[in-house]
Structure 1
Amino acid sequence: MNLSDQLCETARNQPEKTAYIFEDRETSYEELERSVRQFAAQLQALGYKKGDHIALILGNSPHFIIGLYGALRIGAIVIPVNPLYTPHEITYILQNGNVKLLLTMDLLVKKMDAIIEKLPHLEHVIICETRSDAAFSRKSDKMKSFTKVMRNTSGEFIPPETKKEDVALILYTSGTTGKPKGAMLTHKNLFSNAKDTADYLQISGHDRVIAALPMFHVFCLTVSLNAPLMNGGTVLILPKFSPQESFRLAKKFKATIFAGVPTMYNYLLQSGKGSKDDLASIRLCISGGAAMPIALLENFEKAFDVIVSEGYGLSEASPVTCFNPLDRPRKPGSIGTNIMHVENKVVDEFGEELPPGEVGELVVKGPNVMKGYYKMPEETASTIIDGWLHTGDMARMDDEGYFYIVDRKKDMILVGGYNVYPREVEEVLFSHPQIAEAAVIGVPDSNSGEAVQAFVVSNDVEMTEDEVLMYCGSHLAKYKIPTHIVFLEEIPKNTTGKILRRSLREAVNAR
């Protein structure tokens, strides 16, 4: 059984049940299954088959769900991509990921025009119409209308044989090498984590889950999409997060679960747009992606009379590994305990398990752990050792089996829930002909949690901050662009030439 087959089974058992609500319109499981099967049939009619790579560059929408489950239905490998990425970033992923077909939206046609010519192996770009006034002109014969593709009912769908170890998804996550790494998740990885998460959080057909996080991110993909659809629940699709719309959706459709990153909870709390009545139907708020400040957690719970429970996960683990149990009071500041069938432990530099209370690296083992990094065997070998996924996060465990993250992945910056790795930004800075050295760190930011700050050594004494920021803007997604550039005569390093980021942070804190 895989996710797409499970959807078919759910539609067969409860066809009239509401699968999702989008723009206040309800769509049944029978309708969703029909669209998924039709899209899968059209993919086959276009010549796509098991193992082909299909990318989704879409916002939260029915198109994403149909595209995801339709592609999985024919055994294709899906690559979700952040629509906010620049053409430069998208091109790398599509090239590295050997993408043959791209499903995107009309609002991104201009961005796609800049990409298509660089991708000779890209056979089709299917454009999803999202607005009546966003008509697109086809500059390439590769472009097709999603609506017209779906109208073409010729040909029957022939389901391929898929195995649980077949790769279903490749999630590109920024790496310390400066280039994104593609985590290969199998059908078993995705199915097991969705099922185990649903069982652990008691997600059932009675639940209505708000999908406010971006669907291209594995947090939303598993917790807010796959888990509820697996058990006949209803997904309340929020195209773009906004406090006002979140409150409205929760109240009107009696949402029971909300999942978000701490920044979202802060926006909900500070917006002044909602009340306890708006969230009266919510039984569980889920927080992940970053450590939630205890003060924020307590203030949010007091303001809205709900429980916020934290969990932990990473793309390489599909993603959930830990969560605060629902059968006892959760521990503020903790990421919880092992979910079903997943084992976490804290180890020293030699891989030996540490006793409770001691800090070491968090490692994970279970059916949710990725197959490896796409086309990166060395990275895979150094990340998965003896079956254990090394997260790179420092953690400790208490006497009751609750885990606590002590520090995030080394040097990672979390901007509004999005991961930014310093090396990726530094590579762009280094590519500027007048920049000799560069270093990037995260600094506290009241709006996004953290912001990117860059330190550069320039060969041009007249170089300005605006010039550097403009250069970054042409190569990086908006949330990765530094908010401030500091010019230095030399970047502090240790005796081996390694950048001393701690010294940079201390300099910022001393100001």
Structure 2
Amino acid sequence: MNLSDQLTWTAKNHLRKTAYIFQGEEKTYQELEGAVTKFASSLKQLGYGKGDHIALVVGNTPHFVISLYGALRIGATVIPINPIYTPDEISYIINNGDVKGVITLDVILEKFEHMEKLIPNVKHYIVGETNPELEFSESPLSSKLKSFTQIVQEGSIELERPNLNDEDTAVVLYTSGTTGKPKGAMLTHKNLFSNAKDVADYLQIGPSDKVIAALPMFHVFCLTVALNAPLMNGGTVLIMPKFSPAEVFKEAKKHQITVFAGVPTMYNYLLQQPDGDVSAFESMRLCISGGAAMPVALLENFEKKFNVKISEGYGLSEASPVTCFNPLDRERKAGSIGQSIINVENKVVDEFGEEVPVGEVGELAVRGPNVMKGYYKLPVETQATLKDGWLYTGDMARMDEEGYFYIVDRKKDLILVGGYNVYPREVEEVLYDHQQVAEVAVIGVPDPDAGEAVVAFVVLKEGEQASEDELFTYSSQRLAKYKVPSKIEFLDELPKNTTGKILRRALKDVVRN
């Protein structure tokens, strides 16, 4: 089974059930299934087939859903790309990913017009219309342009589907590495299907659920948890073009949303929203957090205010992405990423790959049907990451006696102060507990005496004040001397990527400058 075939099965069993809602318009599973099949047949007519690479450069719109499932239906490999990337970033992925066709939106097309010569191998641009007044006739790409609407309208509902193997590459996700160029994680049909099914089953997502897709769909967290998992079992997806705290409250209340998935930064914004409507979350049965470690203080304050449980989990692009979740049917442990989900194994290992004793810190390794088959055209990097069937995540973790895992920090973010290990998260947790602090990020910087020094970047709550000395004293009372920040800098906001992850490398640039 694969995602596209599963959608067909779901549509047969939930024909008139709402599959998605976008800007007030609802589409049933029957309508979605029809659009996907027609889109797939038109792609085939254009000369696309099994193994061809198609890039999705669209935001959170129905175009993404129809394109993804339509391309998969003919056996094409989908490469989702962040629409706000620069031309250099987009052209690198398109060229490195051997992309033959691009699906985008009219409001983004100008970006491709400027990079036409950088990506000469692209045969077609299928353009989703969002602005009826835009004219394409004079575009330098006019000979390659196709209307998304026409592609769907002119497609046939009769489609001969290719035989797809579980190990065929379905999606290539380019990961934003901390150094060098991004790497394309090859996820198979089996990877994506198994993780969507296991997540849906683990979180008990069913036909009665309405899930907000406010995270970017090109990111694997949203792709699996807020899109593929609900569509797996007949749930409804509310597609939000972008995250807005005010809009989340409004839509959650209007549509009686039951599941919200977000990164810790999003929960912080919702918590800090001055006019946040607590009643909007009355129908919410579950909130899911991932993408980064959630500070315990933030988790507890959010749950107290909105009277809803947050199940923190863990995943990474290379694992489709989910490997752990806090269980719904037994104890949830604040600060933990939970236990291994069904069909997935996690373990904590030392530098030799040997499992460390319970409670000790090591690198988290993952094994299961969700683990990628490798990095696209990077055999050396693949060999360094996949060892004896295990995916080495690069995250430092520990496991307790009951099999709950705790992410300590990224292996690369570890700070060495005079030979002592300092994990940024531990320092951040302390500062998050301070009443005036809204956000904090901790990094290590070179130090001539200790090797590295701890530096904290702090964003204060609106209208609040606190001095560096005050936070220094506060930290000193709760942390060993070598863990206390040597410097605390105040910022109006922390640099983040499009999924809300804090960009530590950008903070290192702040220190250098």
Match of 2:386 in 1: 384
Q: Name the SS of the counterpart of 1:346 in structure 2.
A: strand
For residues 202-250 of structure 1, the C-alpha deviation after alignment (integer angstroms, 9 at most, x for no partner) is: 1111111000100000000000000000000000111110011101111
Aligned residues: 437
Q: Which amino acid aligns with 1:217?
A: H
Q: How does 1:130-279 map to 2 (within 5 A)?
A: 130-136=130-136, 137-140=138-141, 141-153=143-155, 156-279=158-281
Q: Name the SS of the counterpart of 1:107 in structure 2.
A: coil
1:79 maps onto 2:79 in alignment = yes
**1:318 touches 1:369 (CA, 8 Å); kept in 2?**
yes
For residues 69-126 of structure 1, the C-alpha deviation after alignment (integer angstroms, 9 at most, x for no partner) is: 0000000000000111100000000000000000011111111112222112110011
Distance 1:153 1:343, change over 3 A: closer
Q: TM-score, normalized by length of structure 2?
A: 0.81
Question: Which moved further from structure 2: 145-154 or 216-225?
Answer: 145-154
Structure 1 residue 284, shift from structure 2 partner: 0.3
Match of 1:39 in 2: 39
Q: Which amino acid aligns with 1:359?
A: V
Q: Gaps (5+ residues) in structure 1?
A: 415-421, 423-438, 449-477, 489-511
Structure 1 residue 487, shift from structure 2 partner: 5.4
Q: Which amino acid aligns with 1:21?
A: I
Q: Which amino acid aligns with 1:326?
A: L
Question: Which moved further from structure 2: 164-173 or 110-119?
Answer: 110-119
Paired with 1:279 and 1:102, the residues of 2 have a C-alpha distance of: 38
**1:275 touches 1:304 (CA, 8 Å); kept in 2?**
no
Q: Identity of counterpart residues, as a percentage?
A: 64
Question: Which moved further from structure 2: 189-198 or 122-131?
Answer: 122-131
Q: Name the SS of the counterpart of 2:272 in structure 1.
A: helix
**1:22 touches 1:237 (CA, 8 Å); kept in 2?**
yes
Q: Which amino acid aligns with 1:50?
A: K
1:291 maps onto 2:293 in alignment = yes
Q: Which amino acid aligns with 1:399?
A: E
Q: Which amino acid aligns with 1:226?
A: N
Q: Name the SS of the counterpart of 2:184 in structure 1.
A: strand
Q: How does 1:96-495 map to 2 (within 5 A)?
A: 96-136=96-136, 137-140=138-141, 141-153=143-155, 156-411=158-413, 444=457, 446=459, 482=506, 485=510
For residues 357-413 of structure 1, the C-alpha deviation after alignment (integer angstroms, 9 at most, x for no partner) is: 000000000000000000000101110000000001000000000000011241499
Paired with 2:373 and 2:190, the residues of 1 have a C-alpha distance of: 10
Distance 1:216 1:103, change over 3 A: same
Distance 1:253 1:486, change over 3 A: closer
Paired with 1:198 and 1:444, the residues of 2 have a C-alpha distance of: 37
Q: Name the SS of the counterpart of 1:117 in structure 2.
A: helix
Q: CA RMSD in A?
A: 2.5
Paired with 1:487 and 1:240, the residues of 2 have a C-alpha distance of: 32
Structure 1 residue 486, shift from structure 2 partner: 5.1
Q: Which amino acid aligns with 2:139?
A: R
Paired with 2:53 and 2:335, the residues of 1 have a C-alpha distance of: 39
Paired with 2:129 and 2:140, the residues of 1 have a C-alpha distance of: 16
**1:247 touches 1:273 (CA, 8 Å); kept in 2?**
no
Q: Which amino acid aligns with 1:30?
A: Q
**1:343 touches 1:365 (CA, 8 Å); kept in 2?**
yes
**1:44 touches 1:157 (CA, 8 Å); kept in 2?**
no
Question: Which moved further from structure 2: 90-99 or 266-275?
Answer: 266-275
Q: Name the SS of the counterpart of 1:219 in structure 2.
A: helix
Q: Which amino acid aligns with 2:73?
A: R
Paired with 1:54 and 1:92, the residues of 2 have a C-alpha distance of: 14
Q: Name the SS of the counterpart of 2:59 in structure 1.
A: coil
Structure 1 residue 54, shift from structure 2 partner: 0.3
**1:243 touches 1:273 (CA, 8 Å); kept in 2?**
no
Q: Name the SS of the counterpart of 1:170 in structure 2.
A: strand
